[in-house]
A and B are shown apart, each in its own frame.
Chain A
Amino acid sequence: MVAFAFAFLAPVLYSLYLSLFRNQLMGGNQFVGLANYSAAFTDPKFWDGTGRVLLFLVVQVPIMLAVALAAALVIDSGRLFGKRFTRIALFVPYAVPGVVAVLMWGFLYGDRIGLVGWINEAAGSQVLTPFSREWMLVAIGNIVTWEFVGYNMLILYSALRTVPGELYEAAAIDGAGQWRVIRAVKLPALRGALVIATIFSIIGSFQLFNEPNILKVLAPTLISSSYTPNMYAYNLSFLGQQVNYAATVAIIMGVLTAAIAYVVQLRGTRRDS
């Protein structure tokens, strides 16, 4: 319990404490009450980044979970040749260190020496432009999906493995086909796992940092220093030396994330009972 308090609560409490102060290059440290919070609530950069991760959340998470669900069902159906290989192949991207994965995709996206450049040349026009205002966020979504489909597939697949065999037998006796089995047996069994995967993904979206932060090196004008709230907090803290304001941003994001995750969990479990 003491260890828990130290490792988990102390940083949060200290961040709260920090967020009540302002430390200036000239003038030093002073107590400012909730001034940092009122500043954050009217800070267009903060809301711009928050809006971006929300958009990312409502588009990328459903796509990723749908793909993961489909993959889990296909592998579980037993009709797939090379089921083990597929399972591992889907999971491998998750094992690639995030930084390496993003660098790799960054090179693939390259218009001059990358795969995209090669495709464009073959097509004779600019068919793919991941490094553009329109497509940058989609390109990031693609990387994140690639990284985490396998992970989510595994959560769902292991939930499917816990379905007792008798249920399938009973369904077969009732004359249910594959689709019917999926709808009546497998999907209800997956609900809990889906809620968990969704909550993880929501938190992950709000925490979006690695992918845009690394791609910023390749496309500095496309990805601003406040592209996501996490990047904003990082840059405020390490380049702007505004640790107090960064702590404020971190706490607001933490509360926001927790609230949304809680709502999802409530909805998910209510239907359960």
Chain B
Amino acid sequence: MSITRNGRIAAGAMAAVLAGSLAACSGGGGGGGEPDEGATAEEIEAALEEGGIIDYWTWTPQAEKQIEAFEKAYPNMTVNLTDTQGAEEHNTGLQNAIAADKGIPDVAQLEYQSVPQFQLPGQLTDVTGYGLGELEDLYTPSTWGSVALGDGLWGLPQDSGPMALFYNAEVFEENDLVVPKTWDEYVEQARKLKKSDPDKVLFNDDGNGPGTVTSMIWQAGGKPFQVEGDTVTIDLADEGTTRWAETYQQLIDEELMSDITGWSDEWYQALGDGTIASMVVGAWMPGIFEDGVPDGDGAWRIAPMPTYDGTPVNAENGGSADVIPAGADDKVLAAGFLKWLNSDPESIRVFMETGGFPATVAELGSEEFLGYESEYFGGQKINEVLAAGADDVVEGWSYLPWQSYANSIFSDTVGQAYLDRTSLLDGLSEWQAENVRYGEEQGFTVDG
């Protein structure tokens, strides 16, 4: 409510108009995303030597240093960096630029979960023609699988996020908990902790977005979303998803988890003082612990993900690729930068130096990387645990072509089961129904 209420109606309409006029011209992208004529490695190299200007959108904290190194290697190149702050704003900005066909970056970061959303409507460049397909062996299979969709290659992996169990060893010791190897053991520890210290919880999930949940379903062997051309199959009651739901339901029903808002001050504080005693999250998390949770210094350790039957299985959580939008100005230079950014040892070294977790097999296996002893994590060789997880990622996962919309209605459906302690499977089936409806409205053939 405000004094300019009438003005607000106009402003609201104006916003709708603006967004609408942008959307109106987005049809131009077309359906297929036909492969570009491309260029050979020599042609790309020559173009980089000759130089030019490209625009790069990212929220990677290491980008500035990577660009510095790139411009040193190719002195005639200039990279204009736009720091887009975070995934959500980034996607909206990119969507608007593409729709307006104006100010489209040459290279942009995209979360793995958002790649299909841009790729299917034909908004990304198939980089196969630029010889980037030959780089396949450099990357872990799961990250490669996130950019090689359908018959094309839509970018290169920038980082990866194989999951691990982060736990507060001090709380574990005080309460006589063991590091769980299976999810049954995990639930058991959660019960034990609740009994011995009711102020602490083993697990926290605010029910806002499905980032953790989709990764946990992935780890349980679920493949609820399958995309084949414009046909999408949704089955949020498949064997793996159900397996996850049955475990998670116990945490909800027995009140073994808290709902502190993720990434809030309260949340960081709860990680620091032991209120939240463990979390499952991607391998990019250690740097955030060091920066954001100073009170947890020395207390936290990292263990492999608990699994359902004790044999190691893993999933990716988060992580991004870099892509070339279909409307990019100079695709040859863009391809050159993209390749350098995500495969040149110097770029990856800079990326890792400040806490990035790589997607490249060589770096994941290097002695220096694996031997690193983290002071924050009590001298533990954390990368040994994290990198080992990358080998066990289940293949064949895919996200929805409208994942960001699906994420936005997660709390309306599945999240309600957290709140009322009702059946997760019912919540999942409601989420499925809403997604089927949305997909059909958007012109997909949806099976679900």
Contact = CB atoms under 8 A, between A and B. Distances in A.
Interface of A: 7-8, 10-12, 14-15, 18, 22-29, 98, 110, 112-113, 133, 144, 147-148, 151, 200-201, 203-205, 207-208, 217-218, 220-222, 224-226, 230, 233, 235, 237-244, 246-247, 250, 254, 257
- Most chain B CB within a 10 A radius of its CB, from A12, A18, A208: A18
Nearest to A11: B13
Contacts of A243: 16, 19-20, 23
A113 B266 contact: yes
B10 interface: yes
A242 B442 CA distance: 9
Nearest to A98: B2
Nearest to A204: B1
Contacts of B12: 207, 230, 233, 250
Given A233-B12, A237-B19, A247-B20, A112 B260 contact: yes
A23 B14 contact: no
A241 B412 CA distance: 18
A102 B12 CA distance: 20
Interface in B218-261: 230, 259-261
Contacts of A230: 12
Interface of B: 1-3, 5-6, 8-10, 12-17, 19-21, 23-24, 26-27, 31, 92, 95, 120-121, 206-209, 230, 259-261, 264, 266, 269-270, 401-402, 404-405, 408-409, 411-412, 415-416, 418-419, 438, 441-444
Contacts of A23: 23-24, 26-27
A203 B27 contact: no
A243 B23 CA distance: 7
Nearest to B269: A113
Given A29-B24, A203-B6, A222 B19 contact: no
Contacts of B1: 144, 147-148, 200-201, 204-205, 207-208
A239 B412 contact: no
B83 to A, nearest CB: 21
Nearest to B411: A220
A237 B443 contact: no
A8 to B, nearest CB: 6
A15 B24 CA distance: 12
Given A10-B17, A98-B2, A254-B13, 8 more contacts: A11-B17, A25-B120, A25-B442, A112-B266, A113-B269, A207-B8, A207-B9, A218-B261
